[in-house]
């Protein structure tokens, strides 16, 4: 069974972007922090090897953009992994144990849903030293709630399926039922959901960085670059367009990938 | 006079030919049965007549309805055709009725949107129609929502909506498959009574229904029309091999050899079992025993508690009161608390093999799993040979080891489920509607398999089924349940030749007999099984019982032995 095109195309694009972000800065003579006083706010040109131009401090934007892509991708993937780990474990336990444990665990999730999370994250950022780690935690803390609900729902319905009943009857241990019967049937939906939470995480990170609460100078991310770009939108539009365009492309790829995977799995089930 | 003329009809999806060069005619007022197993193309043919095939379908040939071509007709013409000329009844009325509209409004809409009635008298027409299809208190039901009606009542409403425009043709696609057998009999009677001059195209897998209700029949196999003719002559002398196969696979409830009783020691007994879910009493005070090598059938309609009874026996749901004794040991508590040795002796086969097999595991892993639990020390090569041996026993070979469940047909999947149950050499096999989801010929094979295994190993079988004809052919003893109560228990021969409880008699009379010579009996019971949430007083069967007397509504009968038959009825004399 071959993967369909809706999966292959976005994966190819994402791989290309990731490789480019890793290798690109080495190929450039510039680094992300040195100021080129001769070229402040330069437009993209090949003559000085400022392929994407420079910012208001004369730093090379090609290298900074690649750095931004790296940071954005890392934040997104790590934050999604955090939400995956917490969400799957939490949801699977609530769903499989059921009863009062389930009710208590899910009411806790409901309570967390009621908190205005962006506000909470902003407070967190303001109160503590701003660092990478905190961003992962903050974003993961938002996303795991959805994951927990989805996994719980799926586990609840799997638990009632007859093949689980058959396993219970023969005497298969609870651990083996979870790992052999429940978990493999969760993977599909979890994978799809993760690819759909990554763009969410990217957006939250960009939003925080745009507000100046995310990644701190001289480090950068696509959101932070867009922030700077907006300030110079009229004089140097490429400063906004390039990071914004890349951000949009990455989001698009992940969304397509999620849809493609879902269709792929649906097709396998309805076959 | 020809109403519908289908000529050279072929339907394909990509390279898949689902209907292949089919030609037939339906005359005005005639009733034609369209029979075949699942995937034979009978429903696709019906959809083509209605112009309802999905866009991907490639259709060729000709379908003339009243001399107008249907294939390639415009949407407007098709709408007109479906609204006024052809009525449709599907298997599941819940999917065909809009859950957000009152049923009166849905029927009125049909009349008004096609100018079949003036606004003023639409209501009266609808109420008349609802009364005609036997809806009690039609004025009140006019304002009911679909979910407030029972399954049988919903199907009556569907029939009303199909017939209200007085169409020339009624297409009924498995209209009674989802209903209990006593309700099925009512709907089939109704179908005959209300259609007047409307021709009927009845699609079904049940030859019993065709035999009793259709003048002519068409037999489909793999998309081809292989046999057609008058029902009586086709049953008497089938023109095609496939018709013969179908007839041979259709069990009869009214005759045929009956397995004799088994005289051996009792292996398993259940005493005074009661199962409740909150205030709902699913099983009430049921006792029975199973002998070694015996097949005991538990029969009942929906809500009879037959599944709850065995689930409680196995410890999958809690048993509120009563006891289960197996080989001298009392089995109690949830299944997780029982000894492994007790668990391996009692195995369950489920109704739907698609849901009973883990879609992510290969056949080998599925069948092997019980061995891993019960004999973990066994070397893997030995396990593998056990798996292969049991697969061969159920008629599947080594080549199935690497398959996933979705790569199996329904019958193959059920064999895998049986193999998983048999690999531990259980002493009792419990089959919960294990053949209900299978086509006729496959069902026969699975039943034969169960008989063979029983003969070979002396297995006891508890066979839960709603299908009395199947039960007659396989069981030594039969328990009849109604609303959680055991109403009659007898040897197979006694139960089928001399049923004592009025409910058992009604059940037997409700089953369609696949023989056009036997005139179908009028539905013996009115109404439907009441909700177990609010069981009737006294004898729970009394509101539907044709012979009920005053005592029946006051006093619950107990099981009394009448010459070897245990019956719970006040009015049975020896």
Name the percent of chain A lying above pLDDT 90. Answer: 16
Residue A187 belongs to what domain range? 5-270
Per the structure, the count of domains in chain B is 2
Could you read off the pLDDT of A83-108 as tens digits, one per residue?
Answer: 888 898 899 889 988 889 999 999 99
Put simply, whether A179 touches B (Cβ < 8 Å) is no
- Please give the structure tokens belonging to residue B259: 């397995």
Q: What are the average pLDDT values for consecutive 10-residue runs of chain B, which has 574 residues?
A: 93 91 94 90 92 90 92 89 89 85 91 83 91 88 89 90 91 89 90 87 92 93 93 92 90 79 86 88 92 94 89 91 92 87 90 89 95 91 94 90 90 93 94 88 89 92 92 93 94 91 93 88 86 88 91 91 90 78
Which residue from B50, B49, B44 is spatially nearest to B12, judged by alpha carbons? B44
Check B420 against A161: CB less than 8 A apart: no
Q: What is the CATH number of the domain that holds A70?
A: 1.10.3720.10
Which residue from B512, B369, B352 is spatially nearest to B431, judged by alpha carbons? B352
- Please give the structure tokens belonging to residue B208: 């019993």
Identify whether B113 is part of a domain.
no
Check A271 against B406: CB less than 8 A apart: yes
Q: Provide, as residue numbers in chain B, all residues whose Cβ is less than 8 Å from the Cβ of A173.
A: 373
Minimum distance, in Å, between the CA of residue A96 and any CA atom of chain B: 15
Asked if residue B416 and residue B442 are part of one domain, the reply reads yes
* Residue pair A129/A188 in contact by the 8 Å Cβ criterion: no
Split at pLDDT 50, 70, 90, the class of A271 is very low
Check A169 against B347: CB less than 8 A apart: yes
Strand partners, B460: B428
Residue at which a domain ends, from B461, B487, B513: B487
* Residue pair A80/A198 in contact by the 8 Å Cβ criterion: yes
What's the CA angle centered on A220, arms A216 and A221, to 5 degrees? 115
Residue B413 belongs to what domain range? 266-487
A35 or A198: which carries more pLDDT confidence?
A198
Check A269 against B359: CB less than 8 A apart: yes
* Torsion from C-alpha of B208, B214, B217, B223, nearest 10 degrees: -70
Minimum distance, in Å, between the CA of residue A170 and any CA atom of chain B: 6
Cβ neighbour number for residue B16 with a 10 Å cutoff = 9
Does ipTM come in above 0.85?
A: no
Nearest CB to B359; choose among A165, A180, A185: A185
Asked if residue B238 and residue B341 are part of one domain, the reply reads no
Mean pLDDT of chain A: 83
Check B424 against A170: CB less than 8 A apart: yes
Mind giving me the DSSP string for B97-156? S-TTS-HHHHHHHHHHHTTSS-HHHHHHHHHHHHHHTT-SSHHHHTT--GGGS-HHHHHH
Which residue from B149, B147, B120 is spatially nearest to B133, judged by alpha carbons? B149
Asked if residue B456 and residue B310 are part of one domain, the reply reads yes
Could you read off the pLDDT of A128-170 as tens digits, one per residue?
Answer: 776 777 777 777 777 888 899 999 999 999 988 899 999 989 8
Minimum distance, in Å, between the CA of residue A246 and any CA atom of chain B: 38
Cα dihedral A247, A250, A252, A255 sign? negative
Q: What is the CATH number of the domain that holds B178?
A: 3.40.50.300
Tell me which chain B residue has its CA closest to the CA of residue A270. Answer: B406
Nearest CB to B373; choose among A172, A181, A184: A172
pLDDT of the residue at B288: 94
Minimum distance, in Å, between the CA of residue B457 and any CA atom of chain A: 20
b/e string for B342-366 if b means 16 or more Cβ within 10 A? Answer: bbbbbbbbbbbbbbbbbbbbbbbbb
DSSP one-letter code for B44 = H
- Dihedral-angle region of residue B486 (phi above 0 means left; psi in -120 to 50 means alpha; beta otherwise): beta
Asked if residue B243 and residue B192 are part of one domain, the reply reads yes
Asked if residue B358 and residue B470 are part of one domain, the reply reads yes
pLDDT of the residue at B59: 93
Per the structure, the count of domains in chain A is 1
Least confident range from A46-55, A155-164, A199-208, B57-66: namely: A46-55
CA B499 distance to own-chain centroid: 22
Using DSSP, state whether B278 is helix, strand or coil.
coil
Check B348 against A180: CB less than 8 A apart: no
Q: Provide, as residue numbers in chain B, all residues whose Cβ is less than 8 Å from the Cβ of A165.
A: 316, 348, 350
Identify whether B348 is part of a domain.
yes
d(CA B206, CA B42): 13
**Cα-only R_g, chain B:** 25
Asked if residue B223 and residue B368 are part of one domain, the reply reads no
Residue at which a domain ends, from B450, B472, B487: B487
DSSP one-letter code for A54 = B
Asked if residue B282 and residue B226 are part of one domain, the reply reads no
pLDDT of the residue at A225: 87
Put simply, whether A171 touches B (Cβ < 8 Å) is yes
Asked if residue B306 and residue B180 are part of one domain, the reply reads no
B399 or A116: which carries more pLDDT confidence?
B399
What's the CA angle centered on B559, arms B556 and B560, to 5 degrees? 120
Using DSSP, state whether B22 is helix, strand or coil.
strand
Identify whether B496 is part of a domain.
no
Put simply, whether B348 touches A (Cβ < 8 Å) is yes
Strand B58-65 and strand B2-13: the pairing is antiparallel
In the numeric block, the tokens 């064999």 are attached to: B415
Which residue from A33, A12, A41 is spatially nearest to A217, judged by alpha carbons? A33
Nearest CB to A163; choose among B314, B358, B406: B358
Q: Which B residues, 222 through 251, put their C-beta within 8 Å of a C-beta on chain A?
A: none
* Residue pair B53/B178 in contact by the 8 Å Cβ criterion: no
d(CA B296, CA B291): 9
Minimum distance, in Å, between the CA of residue A105 and any CA atom of chain B: 24
pLDDT of the residue at B345: 92
Residue at which a domain ends, from B468, B487, B506: B487
Asked if residue B210 and residue B336 are part of one domain, the reply reads no
Its pTM stands at: 0.82
Q: Which A residues, 61 through 80, put their C-beta within 8 Å of a C-beta on chain B?
A: none
Asked if residue B92 and residue B56 are part of one domain, the reply reads yes
Using DSSP, state whether B571 is helix, strand or coil.
coil
Q: Answer whether residue A270 shows pLDDT above 70.
A: no
Q: Which B residues, 300 through 339, put their C-beta within 8 Å of a C-beta on chain A?
A: 314, 316, 335-336
Q: Provide, as residue numbers in chain B, all residues whose Cβ is less than 8 Å from the Cβ of A185.
A: 358-360
Check B360 against A184: CB less than 8 A apart: yes
Q: Answer whether residue A2 shows pLDDT above 70.
A: no
């Amino acid at each position: 069974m071959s993967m369909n095109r809706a999966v292959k195309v976005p994966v190819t694009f994402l791989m290309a972007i990731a490789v480019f972000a890793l290798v690109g800065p080495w190929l450039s003579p510039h680094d992300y922090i040195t100021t080129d006083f001769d070229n402040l706010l330069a437009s993209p040109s090949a003559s000085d090897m400022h392929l994407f131009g420079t910012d208001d401090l004369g730093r090379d934007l090609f290298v900074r953009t690649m750095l931004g892509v790296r940071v954005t991708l890392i934040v997104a993937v790590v934050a999604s992994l955090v939400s995956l780990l917490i969400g799957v474990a939490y949801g699977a336990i609530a769903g499989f144990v059921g009863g009062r444990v389930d009710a208590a665990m899910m009411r806790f999730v409901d309570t967390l849903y009621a908190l205005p999370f962006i506000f909470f994250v902003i407070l967190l950022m303001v109160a503590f030293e701003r660092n990478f780690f905190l961003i992962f935690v903050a974003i993961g803390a938002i996303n795991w709630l959805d994951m927990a609900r989805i996994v719980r729902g799926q586990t609840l319905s799997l638990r009632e399926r007859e093949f689980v009943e058959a396993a219970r009857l023969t005497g298969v241990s609870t651990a083996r039922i979870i790992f052999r019967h429940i978990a493999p049937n969760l993977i599909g939906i979890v994978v799809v959901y993760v690819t759909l939470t990554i763009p969410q995480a990217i957006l939250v990170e960009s939003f925080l960085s745009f507000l100046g609460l995310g990644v701190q100078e001289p480090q950068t991310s696509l959101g932070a670059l867009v922030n700077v770009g907006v300030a110079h939108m009229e004089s140097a539009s490429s400063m906004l367009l390039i990071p914004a365009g890349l951000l949009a492309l990455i989001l698009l790829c992940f969304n397509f990938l999620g849809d493609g995977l879902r269709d792929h799995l649906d097709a396998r089930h309805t076959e | 006079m020809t109403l519908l003329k289908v000529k050279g009809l072929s339907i394909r999806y990509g390279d898949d030919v689902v209907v292949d060069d089919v030609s037939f005619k339906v005359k005005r007022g005639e009733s034609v049965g369209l029979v075949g197993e699942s995937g034979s193309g009978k429903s696709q043919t019906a959809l083509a007549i209605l112009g309802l095939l999905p866009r991907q379908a490639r259709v060729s040939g000709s379908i003339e309805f009243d001399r107008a071509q249907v294939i390639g007709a415009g949407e407007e013409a098709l709408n007109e055709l479906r609204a006024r000329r052809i009525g449709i009844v599907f298997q599941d009325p819940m999917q065909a009725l809009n859950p957000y509209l009152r049923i009166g409004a849905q029927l009125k809409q049909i009349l008004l949107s096609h100018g079949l009635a003036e606004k003023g008298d639409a209501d009266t027409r609808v109420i008349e129609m609802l009364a005609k299809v036997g809806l009690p208190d039609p004025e009140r039901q006019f304002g009911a929502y679909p979910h407030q009606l029972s399954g049988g009542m919903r199907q009556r409403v569907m029939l009303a909506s199909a017939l209200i425009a007085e169409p020339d043709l009624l297409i009924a696609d498995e209209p009674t498959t989802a209903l209990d057998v006593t309700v099925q009999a009512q709907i089939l009677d109704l179908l005959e009574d209300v259609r007047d001059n409307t021709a009927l195209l009845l699609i079904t897998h049940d030859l019993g229904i065709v035999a009793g209700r259709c003048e002519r029949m068409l037999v489909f196999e793999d998309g081809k029309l292989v046999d057609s003719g008058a029902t009586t002559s086709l049953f008497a002398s089938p023109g095609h091999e496939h018709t013969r196969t179908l007839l041979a696979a259709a069990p009869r409830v009214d005759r045929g050899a009956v397995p004799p009783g088994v005289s051996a020691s009792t292996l398993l007994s259940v005493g005074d079992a009661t199962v409740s879910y909150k205030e709902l009493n699913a099983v009430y005070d049921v006792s029975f025993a199973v002998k070694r090598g015996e097949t005991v059938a538990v029969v009942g309609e929906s809500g009879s508690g037959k599944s709850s009874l065995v689930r409680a026996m196995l410890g999958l749901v809690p048993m509120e009161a009563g006891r289960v004794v197996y080989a001298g040991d009392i089995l109690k508590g949830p299944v997780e608390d029982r000894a492994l040795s007790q668990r391996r002796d009692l195995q369950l086969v489920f109704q739907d093999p698609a849901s009973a097999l883990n879609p992510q595991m290969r056949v080998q892993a599925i069948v092997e799993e019980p061995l891993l639990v019960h004999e973990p020390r066994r070397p893997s090569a030995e396990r593998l040979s056990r798996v292969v041996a049991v697969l061969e026993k159920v008629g599947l070979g080594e080549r199935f080891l690497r398959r996933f469940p979705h790569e199996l047909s329904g019958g193959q999947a059920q064999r895998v489920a049986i193999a998983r149950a048999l690999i531990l050499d259980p002493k009792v096999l419990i089959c919960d509607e294990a053949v209900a989801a299978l086509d006729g010929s496959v069902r026969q094979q699975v039943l034969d398999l169960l008989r063979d295994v029983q003969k070979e190993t002396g297995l006891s079988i508890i066979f839960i089924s709603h299908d009395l004809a199947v039960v007659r052919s396989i069981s030594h003893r039969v328990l009849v349940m109604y609303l959680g109560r055991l109403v009659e228990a007898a040897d197979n021969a006694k139960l089928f030749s001399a049923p004592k409880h009025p409910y058992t008699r009604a059940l037997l009379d409700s089953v369609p007999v696949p023989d056009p010579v036997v005139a179908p009996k009028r539905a013996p019971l009115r109404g439907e099984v009441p909700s177990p949430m609010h069981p009737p007083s006294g004898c729970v069967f009394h509101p539907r019982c044709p012979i009920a007397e005053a005592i029946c509504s006051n006093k619950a009968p107990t099981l009394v032995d009448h010459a070897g038959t245990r019956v719970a009825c006040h009015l049975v004399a020896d």
